[in-house]
Structure 1
Amino acid sequence: NNMCHILEKMGNSSETASFVLAAYGNIGQLKYVYFIIILIWYLSICVANTVLIVVIRVDRRLHEPMYMLLNNLCVNEINASTSLYPLLLSQMFSDSHEVTLPWCFLQMCCMYTSGPVEFCSLAAMAYDRYISICHPLRYNVIMKTERVFLLILLVWLYSFLSFIFSFSFIFSLKFCGNIIHSVYCDHQLIIRLSCSFSIQSFISDISFAILSFFIPFSFILVSYLKILRVCLKTSKENKQKAVTTCTPHIISVSNLFVGCIFYFIDFRFLVSQVPVEVRIILPMYVLIFQPMLTPFMYGFNLPKIKQSYQRFLLKRK
């Protein structure tokens, strides 16, 4: 209700009723090809993540903190994809490519909340690996089921509040233009359409980067530095086990980091130096590849999940 009230207030205070997503341009008959490709990719993301969620939920052997956190990560992958792809699909057959302000800011809320949730979830998983490897005897005491659920709740609450804290000022902006040169509602491009430039836009970017990415990434880095220190002193067998469980997580974090670099480089420094197609794809790199990377990386690299997949499929046969 509070979010609806904020969006309504924002809409009333603005001179613009809707935005036009100009990056679609005139794609002609290619819209059918794009529509099919995007639809198949979106459905594949939903199916892949849903299957992993179901496998973890059904198999009691996977009712452990690590897999509960992975379950939460898969839920966020579906949330992140849903914040982008349905709009892309609906705009393919639109002539005006208009998006009303409430829908635009709803997309921003979902999209810019899913980013912090991703990083914070990976930070929670890094902490879980740290406790498991560095304090194995205390693992069951520290990572109780109740604490894991509380941790997941805190991840979502923290991510939502970081979005509200960083972007709440946008709700009261007055806009003197409505053309967004993108295929989705990008907050940086929306801010440029405001009637007056404000230092708040710079502050919001910095605060969002610190709260949503720098702080969680610092926790991840510290956790793995401690894991590395312990692994250097342990046996070869334990090192191999640590590498097996940590590899998917490290790849996920690395991919997110690369995606963030692409996003900020594209919009901050190379706006006029790169082709339009590249400028459209680069900011969406994380939303395109990360949701599909997660279920496959964890599904194929973690032995317990591979075994559960096999049992799950055999039962269906």
Structure 2
Amino acid sequence: MSDVPASPAARLAIVIVTYNRSTYLADLLRSATALTVPPWRIVVVDNASTDDTPDVVAEAAGWFPEGVLVDRRLDTNTGGSGGFCEGTRTALELGAEWVWLMDDDVEILPEALERFAPAMERFRVIHGRRYDFDGSPFYWQAKFNQFLGVPLPYGFRRTFDDEGYAITNSGTFEGMLIHADVVRTIGLPDPRFFITWDDAAYAWLAAQHTEVVYMDAFVLQRKREQQQVNLGVRHLNDGSPLFRFHVMRNRAYVGRYFAEHGQLHRVGFALGTLLTFAKEVFRLVVVQHTLHGVGDLVRGARASRRIWRDRTWRPMDPAEVPPPPS
């Protein structure tokens, strides 16, 4: 990989994926206007929204210098995974050297890019910290247990080193900052996930080639309120039927990527899958006070078996990533 440029933010593209949340999107784009270091590009991937999102994007284009905001509206809803795949592709086609991936329901803190700058001189995949919607620090479960194939929680106070970094092998698209050279090594985000596990698996792939870190500096604030239970070591939010289906189905995609790199422990991964199922049932009972939704998990597990049996499955091909600009 080439060296990180001396002025890393000079060609940094923020990639936002949105679907039918125009109010959140408007607030996010408005927060980007207050950045003390302006972004080079902002790519908004609209997953075929049916609300007034196109109008919001058109209006927001006038808040930035001409050409900064790039509107990429898709014909169908490809999920977060498909949106981040297309957004990353678009950013690299434009010539981005860094891509900052985020959902539409966050706001950017004004000094975010300044806070990233020291880490960008040393690392190529970086996460900053987030505040939750109530202003409290948002907890990240941050590291894959390789045997079980699940991210297990750890506390930041015990994790950041003296320089304020924590090495991990997992991540989130609610704030992952990734260098274009890493994307060209591992491929674009895999759109087949649709939602959930996509970001954790993508950061895991990156960690096979470079250090993936969290930095002890806040850069985002979550804005969408959710039903939530604080368990101390982590928070559990509510989940949708779509989430429950994919959280089980996409275990197969995670496992296939592990197998491609010779790091799949089949017995441990099967145990991790059972623990994932149990955690989601626990989430239903404790957060949403119901067992309606267990059927979504069962359907996802059945779909997962079909992916395991698919002999045509291949990982994302790095050759499909746009090359560096000449």
TM-score when scaled to structure 1? Answer: 0.27
- Structure with greater proportional helix content: 1
Q: Which structure would you say has the larger Rg?
A: 1
TM-score when scaled to structure 2? Answer: 0.27
- Structure with greater proportional strand content: 2
